[in-house]
Amino acid sequence: MRPLYAFLVTAIAAATLMGGCARKATPTPIEGLELKKDDVTGFEIKVPTNWRIQVVPGELVIAVSNSGAGRRFLTFKEGDGGAKIELRAIRVDSVRVLDTLIKNSKLEFEDGLDRYELTDVTLGGQQAKKLAVAFDQEDGEYRSEMYFAEQDSVITIVTLASFGNNFNDYSKEFEEILASVKLAKRPVERPKVDTTTPTGPEPPSDTLVPYSGKFFAMKIPSNFEGQKAEGSGLGSVNIVGSRLDCNIQVDVFDAAKQKNLDKIIDQNKGNYGGQAATATTLAGAKAKYFSYNPTANISSRAYFCLSGDKLFRITVNWYKPEQSVYLPIFEKCLASVTFK
């Protein structure tokens, strides 16, 4: 059996396989579909009218069946069953090319095997690649299909995914959604994105306000909120604003049997790409963090710190193109952390 702390990771970097496929979550029904058209890059896609929808002009449309599932797609930990529909438009450059984006979109499994199937398909009338995978989780099968197509030096990525063994429940709607896709193209002149209005996600506020949890306290942006999250430890809190892929999650674990931070870091190293951890401090105590990229456009840090008989893991995620907006605020939040 592997050591306990080898599992204390944000599992978007390392998926855990479970046995059996009989379990099934209750799917959130799709009550209707509406077409989202982007005025910047011209992409189009249908999304469920009754799901939680976010739009970033020129870049992103995402619909999740419920907020709990939205958090789970970032962490891949135990949580609510649910589904996601996503379209991203990514400009090709020296780093972000089709093959690289496909490679970076794969989860890493604990046994090191690649379970993905890559096939040739069409999307939006163009040749495309389909990257598919399925594996079992606590509440049933996780399954995803990602479609990659390039047009006018812009790569369109469409993702259909679900936890809880309910991918097939949406098969009819997923077919209609894929048929509705119009690929993105490079705009002649990109308008400035207004993130202060309800049409787009609101950036984190410069004003920080106190937040107090059961085991910790910290300051958070005034337009963020702390929400109880699912976790296998003593408690988990997700601190998030209007953009779901930019958040701070605090997970607390019982460390009574292991109080050596260096050993905990070494046990988790392989789950964060095998890179060395960076030394720092949290609440005046010794801490270390791993830097990693769970997807092509998301950067993350996972901080580990011991306080008494508790292990605190604080994970921060932010959208790379807006790193200058999110990361400085998140670092101020981390600097304010105190443990109880």
Domain shared by 140 and 221, yes or no: no
- Domain co-membership, 120 together with 259: no
Residues 174 and 235 in one domain: no
**CA-CA distance, 220 to 209, in Å (whole number)?**
5
Q: Give the structural domain span for 80.
A: 10-180
State whether 150 and 90 are in the same domain.
Answer: yes
Task: Give the end of a domain, one of 161, 180, 199.
Answer: 180
Quick check: is 190 in a domain? no
Whether 316 is covered by a domain: the verdict is yes
pLDDT in tens, the chain (340 residues): 222 222 223 333 345 455 545 578 888 899 999 999 998 899 999 999 999 888 888 888 999 988 777 777 776 777 778 899 999 998 887 667 888 888 888 887 777 788 899 999 999 999 999 999 998 887 788 999 999 999 999 999 999 999 989 899 999 999 999 999 999 998 755 445 544 444 567 889 999 999 998 899 999 999 999 888 766 678 889 999 888 889 999 999 998 888 899 999 988 887 777 788 999 999 999 999 999 887 778 889 999 999 999 999 999 999 888 899 999 999 999 999 999 8
Structural domain contains residue 29: yes
| pTM greater than 0.85 (yes/no) | no
Integer CA distances (angstroms), 321 to 88, 126, 128, 139, 325, in order = 13, 27, 25, 34, 9
Residue 191 lies in a domain: no
Residue 203 within a domain: no
Q: Which CATH number goes with the domain that contains 125?
A: 3.40.1000.10
Residues 161 and 239 in one domain: no
Do both 124 and 165 map to the same domain? yes
Distances (CA, A) of 95 to 78, 98, 100, 220: 33, 9, 8, 33
How many domains in the chain? 2
Q: Are residue 95 and residue 44 in the same domain, yes or no?
A: yes
Q: Are residues 124 and 240 in the same domain?
A: no
* Distance from C-alpha of 309 to C-alpha of 274, rounded to nearest angstrom: 26
Give yes or no: residues 73 and 121 share one domain. yes
Answer yes or no: do 171 and 288 share one domain: no
Query: In this structure, are 19 and 165 located in the same domain?
Result: yes
Based on the fold, state whether residues 35 and 169 are members of the same structural domain. yes
